[in-house]
Chain A
Amino acid sequence: MDPTGAGPYTAVVAFRDRLVATIRAARPVLEPRGVLVVGSEVPNLLEPGAAATLVVSQDLDVGVPVAIHGAVKQRLGQLHGFEPSPDEPSVWTPRSPELLELNFVGMDPAQDPAEAYVLEDDRLPLMVFGPLSLVAPGPEIDIEGTRVPLPRPAGLFLEKLVTDRTGEKGERDLLVALGLLSVAGPGDLDEIDETYRRLRPELRHALRSNLTILSLLGPRAGMPDPRPRRADVAALLRRLEAGDPDRS
């Protein structure tokens, strides 16, 4: 029960308002070429009109290529709506409840997708996640005057499925992948297939294993219901397995 008495529609609108306000406030760090919004908000932003009905999250993940880390760091002083978290160096917390957290993550296209490392820095240290090396720049959308650089859905879908996660966070990330699958077109599915075949066997297995978990998840509040999409997941599994010599 919503203690405010607000219904689901009101909750979605309020969340979209926070997301849009966060994007506007984060504009200085979204501007350098190469920065991407990479987290659970991407399916929301890829919806028509960035309707933000799919996934409710409390942060905006900002992917920073290590090659332009310095350019992003220079702009941190312009983030007037946020301050560095005292607990987590890559998180900037909002000064107002009308904004979401910013979570900076590092991206290195040359990195092994199964590895991770810490980019040391006095002001903006980053965890550089190997699976994010699968992510490539995609469409740029305009959210009320702010340019929002998004990744191609295929790469982010693969990143969500090869990243090793556990528990509640892991299941929510799988549902984010489902949100991406729901906005993926035939070209995106071809790209998923092509990239999958370039992964080494262990990562291909991890990806298929996570798809089976996704197929058997129940619905969760604020997340896309996986049940109506189970047939799509099964079809994708069969497609990926076709011709894969290591599909057991």
Chain B
Amino acid sequence: MSQATTRSLERRLRQMRSRLLVRSWDYRQRRHARGVWFRLRRVLADASEAYTIPRDEAERLMAEGHRADPVGCELEPRKLLLFASAERVARIGSARPLAVRLGAELLAAECLALVPFDTAQGTGRSPSE
């Protein structure tokens, strides 16, 4: 075995250890700004469907008692992320379905209505791809 090939394994080991150091750093900062992406993904992971909705509809949902998830206040510009049942979201005529992933459309939306898995009944809309 040449020295060059052993060096390639050692290089991979160094790269791996560097990534682990970064991961540890991320972990220590998980409750600070750096952890916001995990928190956003965690909220979205509970959503079977996502819709962009107008501001007035989001405010109506809040007036009905739907609580905005705090992670929306950690983003700039701020977002309103609200969980609501599939039946309730189906009554928002202007709601536009989005694919549940960290895509440009979802990140650009100011107000999101999210349908949790346990109440998802289907709204007759398909997330855009």
Contacts and interface: CB of A to CB of B under 8 A. Distances in A.
A123 B2 CA distance: 9
Contacts of A235: 117
Nearest to B31: A248
A194 B99 CA distance: 33
A233 B47 CA distance: 11
Interface residues of A, number: 38
Contact of B48 (A201, A202, A230): A230
Nearest to B8: A88
A67 interface: no
B13 A87 contact: no
Nearest to B100: A216
A117 B13 contact: yes
Nearest to A211: B45
16 contacts: A88-B5, A114-B20, A117-B13, A118-B9, A127-B9, A201-B27, A205-B27, A209-B38, A215-B100, A216-B45, A230-B48, A230-B100, A233-B45, A234-B45, A237-B45, A237-B46
A125 B6 contact: yes
A211 B46 CA distance: 11
Contacts of A217: 101
Contacts of B16: 116, 164
Contact of B8 (A87, A116, A121, A238): A87
A163 to B, nearest CB: 9
A90 B6 CA distance: 9
A123 to B, nearest CB: 6
Interface in B76-126: 99-102, 117
B27 A202 contact: yes
B5 A125 contact: yes
B101 A218 contact: yes
B42 interface: yes
A212 B1 contact: no
Interface residues of B, number: 30
A114 B9 CA distance: 17
Given A122-B1, A202-B27, A212 B41 contact: yes
Interface string B2-35: 0001101110110011011001100100110001
B44 interface: yes
B101 A212 contact: no
Interface of B: 1, 5-6, 8-10, 12-13, 16-17, 19-20, 23-24, 27, 30-31, 35, 38, 41-42, 44-46, 48, 99-102, 117
Contact of B27 (A166, A206, A212): A206
Interface of A: 86-90, 114, 116-118, 120-123, 125, 127, 164, 166, 201-202, 205-206, 208-209, 211-213, 215-218, 230-231, 233-235, 237-238, 248
B98 to A, nearest CB: 12
Contacts of A117: 13
Contact of B5 (A87, A114, A209, A212): A87
Contacts of B45: 211-212, 215-216, 230, 233-234, 237
B1 A123 contact: yes
Contacts of A216: 41, 44-45, 100-102
B101 A116 contact: no
